[in-house]
Amino acid sequence: MISQSTYRIEPWAVRESELDLERLAQAESLFALSNGHVGLRGNLDEGEPSGLPGTYLGGFWDTRPLPYAEAGYGDPEQGQMVVNVTDGKIIRLLVDDAPFDVRYGTLGRHERVLDLRAGTLQRELEWTTPARSTVSVRSTRVVSLVQRSIAAIRYEVQAHDQPVRVVVQSELVANERLPDSDRDPRAQGTQQADLLAVGHDASDLRALLVHRTAGSNLYLAAAMDHQLQTPLGAVHEVEAAGDVARMTVSARLEPGQSLVLVKFLAYGWSRERSEQALGDQVIAALTQARATGWDGLLDQQRAYLNSFWERGDVEVEGDAELQQAVRFSLFHVLQAAARAQQRAIAAKGLTGSGYDGHAFWDTESFVLPLLTYTLPQAAAEALRWRHSTLELASRRARELRLAGAAFPWRTIHGEESSGYWPAGMAAFHINADIAAAVERYTHATGDEQFEREVGLELLVQTARLWISLGHFTGDGHFRIDGVTGPDEYSAVADNNVYTNLMAKRNLAAAAAAAARQREAAVALGVAEDERAVWLEAADAMTIPFDERLGVHCQAEGFTDHARFDFAAAGPKSYPLMLHFPYFELYRKQVVKQADLVLAMLVCSDAFTPEQKLANFNYYEPLTVRDSSLSACTQAVIAAEVGYLELAHAYFREAALMDLDDLEHNVRNGLHIASLAGAWIAAVAGFGGMRDDGARLRFAPALPEEISRLRFRMLYQGSTMQVAIDRQQVIYTLLDGPELTLYHRDEACRLTVDQPLARPLALPVKRSKAPRQPPGREPRHQHRHAST
């Protein structure tokens, strides 16, 4: 875990005051900058040392073989992997012929700051060469949230108390050497993609490199341009060839003098466009960026973020560390999605190569709820990407002898890229997760055009899958057998409750949307008899319940399995998948991540309050949270059933997942869904927000450690604020049309500038909360706030 003193606690920044080379890779992920199209890991400007070099483009991938000891019918033969593209971050420095490297000479001070309001990574240091010449270096890095293709760096070198000769080399470098991957299946695959050089150009202060991938045949263009502020007598040159382009500037600095370089970067890729057209595209983007200028880019960035924080901020009083972590979380989810524009939002965003850069169900189930209520256009773009892959999903369904569409468990481009059966490829619930995201977005925004053009077809094709995957029994029930739910330690299960409830919801939503969009539904071949079958299957869906124990079975027969021996396994055996064969996990009562408990969040009305309490008490001692997706869900349900302090602990775990490196793998990239889960824990947990499409309801409650919680969200074209303290909750409509919401079961009409206050209901007094498996208590150590 990252030391608790590594990053100072501040409300709007993450500050690293000392450079720890042992934790360099972790810091590179935390300090990554992105806009969903371009992603730069927080590598040092000079490129070395590094933990994991990384520059990524949304949706840019190459192929790799998926080997099997025994291949089976339907197993994908090729996988996809994110590519470390041309690195434009590198700015090397020589001082009196001594190359700047933090491992040599004397590093007097070193500080980096991720500014969550400015959207920049700032760095300041002092360095003394072995020959005792001292310089200061200040750099600021930005990936524009406004100009999609653009990143920029301002780099300043200043001489101290004696004249120095400095040389600054600004580079584009392709095919950087990457470290070997480890055996952790969450890390990148073993094969690394090579980029093939196909073109280059250089003139004045500008350079261009064009490459293509060997397998996917995608073309990539990366270009840089510069503005210089130098003393008289400075000289510069530019060159480009193959995998390297370089602009070099040399100057003599008197004490107190500075050399300032502003570097503009532009990236673009395509499969269809020619090398020439792609090069012209990035040069044009550079021209626009130079016209905007450095100060203009920073002004645009701050204005964009001001707008986001005004409609999406979450304020937490009483827990300063959690406040910092929540804003850090929101910032990185925004970066992952803001300009993705019909590209996959990967599980790691563009912060690292973990999971090969793949997107999973995480996007629709954890990231899109946040985006739907804070940045709905990004949610729509993510679903439009899914819609663009429908033909591939339909082809996959036919390959599996199914109807409709079978969306991939993991992918970048749209094809199934999972070599894991059955933990991955049998997890058909991803279809219903996508459908639920469509339903949520449509209800929350009222976007009828989206429903007609995109949402309806996604709902229809996913509904068709369930009818072919499940079957009616002789006694009138509808069963879905042999699938994997969210809990990947229970594979090929019959009637997984989460899957069946989500399929039920999917079928009903498809029938309702087809009734609203009759003309578009007819064009998709939806007839009344098909709608009737959807509704019949939804009504007849099998939902297993153990009458003896008074709880829902996670899947049919689950509560009859032997319990996993957690005490014998010991606390050093987590994650269990790295220490036990899957066979041992599949046949025992052990839960990798919230499954039945997640069903109680997303299908809340399917359970009574008494069932929720009984279910939570039963599954909490079985859930090991070997997935970062679990803590936020457990936080929400713990809050709903009255275990507020436990909910607070899980809230902290979700938000601090990466800042404290709780999963010990942040070096490979951030856990974007867990970071989005921090918002879910705040808004759905302590805010008690539920949106079933018919009504927006809140049932707030606060733990002792949080004195006040305030959040804002968008709903049906309006911006609203919910402020919760010890005595009351105040609902305020900040702008937009009047809204009707529910405070618990009371209908409340909100109008602009007329806040509505309601008393905060006292939480139900519960006996001691259930225990977790030994060694899996929530990890929520407090740090002291810095001044």
Please report the pLDDT score of residue 764 as a whole number. Answer: 75
Residue with tokens 């069946």: 500
Please report the pLDDT score of residue 30 as a whole number. Answer: 98
Question: What is the value of pTM for the model shown?
Answer: 0.96
* Separation of alpha carbons 714 and 737, rounded Å: 11
Side chain identity at 172, as an amino acid letter? L
> What is the per-residue burial (b if ≥16 Cβ within 10 Å, else e) of 523-545?
eeebeeebbebbebbbebbbbbe
Q: Are 537 and 472 in contact (CB under 8 A)?
A: yes
Please report the pLDDT score of residue 1 as a whole number. Answer: 58
Please report the pLDDT score of residue 2 as a whole number. Answer: 62
451 catalytic per annotation: no
Q: Annotated catalytic residue: which of 488, 620, 653, 663?
A: 488
Q: Which residues are CB-neighbours of 692 under 8 A, at least 6 positions away? A: 604, 605
189, 383, 414, 448 from 364: Cα distances, Å? 24, 8, 15, 20
pLDDT averages per 10-residue partition of the chain, 787 residues: 76 96 97 98 97 97 88 88 97 97 96 98 98 97 98 98 97 90 55 85 97 96 98 96 97 97 97 94 98 98 97 97 98 97 96 96 98 98 98 97 97 92 87 98 97 98 98 96 96 96 98 97 97 98 98 98 94 92 94 98 97 98 96 97 96 97 95 98 98 92 96 96 96 96 95 94 80 89 42
Phi and psi at residue 112, to the nearest 5°: -125, 145
As beta bridge partners, residue 99 has: 94
Q: Are 336 and 378 in contact (CB under 8 A)?
A: no
Element (H, E) at 521: helix 518-523
Surface-to-core class of residue 768, CB atoms within 10 Å of its CB (0-12 exposed, 13-18 middle, 19+ buried): exposed
* Separation of alpha carbons 49 and 97, rounded Å: 19
Q: Are 238 and 256 in contact (CB under 8 A)?
A: no
Please report the pLDDT score of residue 179 as a whole number. Answer: 81
Please report the pLDDT score of residue 787 as a whole number. Answer: 33
Could you give the count of Cα atoms lying within 13 Å of 672 in the half-sphere of its Cβ? 38
Q: How far is CA 130 from the centre of its chain?
A: 43
Q: Which residues are CB-neighbours of 474 under 8 A, at least 6 positions away? A: none
Q: Are 653 and 631 in contact (CB under 8 A)?
A: yes
> What is the per-residue burial (b if ≥16 Cβ within 10 Å, else e) of 235-264?
ebebebeebbbbbbbbbbbeeebbbbbbbb
Measured at the alpha carbon of residue 676, what is the angle toward residues 24 and 301, in degrees to the nearest 5? 70
Reduce the DSSP state of residue 382 to 3 states and report it.
helix
